A and B are shown apart, each in its own frame.
Chain A
């Protein structure tokens, strides 16, 4: 039987695609679901310290919003890192970094935002996601 768990594989590094990661995680913990996030490739690069507000916007939409980072700050909309920090205060959220990406880009856990809990392999994450009701690739 499926557990109340939402799993997300976050591959994308665009700011507009990362915001829903924080929002979905917040909604999920509010409703009492566990959240498991696997950060890989550009999704992991966006979790280097202070990187989020410097990430690009999806090219198809970049003309529509201008400077999305500035807009978020002006309207006091938290970035994905702060959203995940709040979600972790209120519920069971684990954020793991893809070991392969860490090795490829020469990253250490200390290079990443403190909401990232640890480094993990893809096999473990797949087994974790198998138990949940929803797995998203973002």
Chain B
């Protein structure tokens, strides 16, 4: 059964705000759930993949929509 991704709108928040909001949401999510953060900050798309690798979660990618990015992670454990 697919669960809808959790979406967090962190647009306008400065580095490392979007990553911190994502981490908080991943901690609260169930295993297997996808968390997507919307970010206008250029550091997050570099930082979040590195965080996911370190924390052992699956980095799903970055979709750029005009002036913001959607960065997705699946909670693995």
Contacts and interface: CB of A to CB of B under 8 A. Distances in A.
Interface of A: 23, 26-27, 30-32, 75-78, 86-87, 89-90
Contacts of B55: 32
A76 B24 contact: no
B19 interface: yes
A30 B12 contact: no
A87 B14 CA distance: 15
B27 A90 contact: yes
Interface residues of B, number: 16
Interface stretch (B29-37, B46-54, B58-66): B46-54
Contacts, number: 32
Contacts of A27: 16, 47
A32 to B, nearest CB: 6
Q: Which of B12, B16, B23, B47 has the most chain A CB atoms closer than 10 A to its own CB?
A: B16
Given A78-B17, A90-B20, 6 more contacts: A30-B19, A32-B55, A75-B12, A76-B12, A77-B14, A86-B24
Given A30-B47, A31-B54, A89-B24, A75 B14 contact: yes
B6 interface: no
A12 B19 CA distance: 27
